[in-house]
Amino acid sequence: MSRHVAIVTDSTAYLPKRAMRQHDITAVPLTVVLGDRALEEGTEISARSVAEALQKRRPVTTSRPSPEEFAATYREVAAAGASGIVSLHLSSELSGTYDAAVLAARSAPVPVRVVDTGMIAMALGFCALAAAEAAAAGASVDEAVAAAEKRAEGTSAYFYVDTLDYLRRGGRIGAAQALFGSALAVKPLLQLEGGRIEPLEKVRTAAKAIARLEELAVERAAAVGPADIAVHHLAAEEKATALAERLRGRVPALGEMHVSEVGAVIGAHTGPGLLAVVVSAVCGNDRPA
């Protein structure tokens, strides 16, 4: 049995399944509560189902994995040959997932480093990939953590939402912040800052907001050099695909481009119409020579 450093994350990383298989990354699912049913993200409920429920104003909430779920995952990964585990999770400002992982790590059969990346969606996914690539090259637990943290430092995420109401209902922004986008015909742009979702700009129309989202991504990619980009959406596939194509033409030092619908957990808090762009600087050691 080969000994190696294993990478664990959670379902909000929204990594392509192909990438998870290729890099042997394990994701622990968060849960969406739809009415009186608790459903695992990624296997038991789709983002589209959440979008439809929100449009019908049905109650939708989310919950973190339990410490027992993390403990079981750590045992399984250790039994498969891991000598150590790097467990990378969405911002603790947005979820209690990190805290649950910390509790479980105390009883794990191998050393576990739990990391609050301060990220979410592919901003988290890029950190997990960086750690996995380092581990595959023979890195120690500490070295894989350092690779993930370096990737996080060079990663930015920008969001367009039709309304801030869903984020306010879920407690992800306060009532005062929600007023930021409440004026008639004003569309909010948000950013991930300090692990929190913060207002960035107000734009008059949806079309102008999406154009500004594109400009922000282009400006950030130019500032950080070679960059991977992810475009996320919820029930806005055509807009996301068109935005990704424009970015392909405007970012000369583009690495990987991912286009995907967000999962049920983020969808529950943003509502349909979400467009998001993640720009992540490609670190020198993230790619093979």
Residues 130 and 192 in one domain: no
CA distances in angstroms from 155 to 39, 126, 152, 178, 225, listed in the order given: 30, 8, 5, 25, 12
Residues 205 and 69 in one domain: no
CA atoms of 198 and 189, how far apart (whole Å): 9
Residues 219 and 120 in one domain: no
Dmax over CA atoms of the chain, in Å, equals 62
Residues 159 and 149 in one domain: no
Name the pairing type of β-strands 37-40 and 31-34.
Answer: antiparallel
What pLDDT band is residue 289 in, cutting at 50, 70 and 90? Answer: very low
Check: CB of residue 29 under 8 Å from CB of residue 42. Answer: yes
CATH at 22: 3.40.50.10170
The answer to whether residue 181 scores a pLDDT higher than 50 is no
Q: Is residue 128 part of a domain?
A: yes
pLDDT at 3: 67
Check: CB of residue 74 under 8 Å from CB of residue 110. Answer: yes
Here the tokens at position 136 are 């595959």
Task: Identify the domain boundary among 104, 132, 153.
Answer: 153
Residues 171 and 203 in one domain: yes
Residues 14 and 123 in one domain: yes
Residues 93 and 204 in one domain: no
pLDDT at 58: 84
Q: Is residue 46 part of a domain?
A: no
Q: Is residue 47 part of a domain?
A: no
Q: Is residue 44 part of a domain?
A: no
pLDDT at 277: 98
Task: Identify the domain boundary among 122, 153, 184.
Answer: 153
pLDDT at 48: 80
Q: Is residue 219 part of a domain?
A: yes
The answer to whether residue 40 scores a pLDDT higher than 50 is yes
Q: Is 35 left (phi over 0), alpha (psi -120 to 50) or beta?
A: left
Specify the DSSP class assigned to residue 109. S
Check: CB of residue 210 under 8 Å from CB of residue 160. Answer: yes
CA atoms of 186 and 181, how far apart (whole Å): 6
CATH at 163: 3.30.1180.10
Q: Is residue 271 part of a domain?
A: yes
Residues 123 and 133 in one domain: yes
pLDDT at 185: 58
The answer to whether residue 213 scores a pLDDT higher than 70 is yes
pLDDT at 246: 98
Residue 262's DSSP bridge partners are none
Residues 109 and 17 in one domain: yes
Residues 187 and 277 in one domain: yes
Residues spanned by the domain of 243:
155-281
Residues 183 and 249 in one domain: yes
Our count of domains for the chain comes to 2
Specify the DSSP class assigned to residue 184. T
- Alpha-helical segments (H) within the chain: 17-23, 47-55, 67-79, 97-105, 122-136, 141-153, 165-169, 175-178, 206-224, 237-250, 264-270
- CA 211, 216, 219, 225: dihedral to nearest 10 degrees? -120
Q: Is residue 57 part of a domain?
A: no
Task: Identify the domain boundary among 101, 121, 153.
Answer: 153
Residues 172 and 190 in one domain: yes
Q: Is residue 38 part of a domain?
A: no
The answer to whether residue 135 scores a pLDDT higher than 90 is yes
Check: CB of residue 200 under 8 Å from CB of residue 158. Answer: yes
Q: What is the side-by-side strand order in the sheet with 155-160?
A: 196-203, 187-193, 155-160, 275-281, 227-233, 254-261
CA atoms of 62 and 55, how far apart (whole Å): 17
The answer to whether residue 164 scores a pLDDT higher than 80 is no
